[in-house]
Amino acid sequence: MVNVLFVCLGNICRSPMAEALFRDLLKKENLNEKIAVDSAGTGSWHIGDPPHKGTLGILNKYKISVDGLIGRLLTKDDFDKFDYLIGMDESNKKNIYKITGKPNHPKIIRLLDLTKHNRDVPDPYYTGDFDETYRLVSEGCRALLEKIRNENNI
């Protein structure tokens, strides 16, 4: 089983959106038995909270399940539990390095580095643009799945 963890700041906007999108993609590709997915935040403000209403709204708009999405904090142990730790922006990536104690480890990746965009996923908590975030996260998730398939012969 390949384990993927999406990480953002509060675990209420970008990373749960990525978790839900990736889960939906895995279901459509019949890969639920080969790849598992979760999400976490680097800040503790929203532990136990559901996703932001904007995230819930965009996922519901596209009929993507939001079941089981609850905010949690990234831990040092997550490094050993997950094969891919995917930060939504450069700041998240640096926080993953700090929390896990694994600076510059290759399994810690910024999501859009896997795409032609090579930039941060903007935080819709601040921008209010959940549509843009959805488009970028969706593209990043497809690129990540391709990477995982290639690296793990799936």
Catalytic residues: 8, 14, 123
Q: Give Cα 105 to chain centroid, integer Å.
A: 17
d(Cα 3, Cα 85) in Å, to the nearest integer?
9
d(Cα 83, Cα 105) in Å, to the nearest integer?
11
| Burial tier of 104 (Cβ tally within 10 Å: 0-12, 13-18, 19+) | exposed
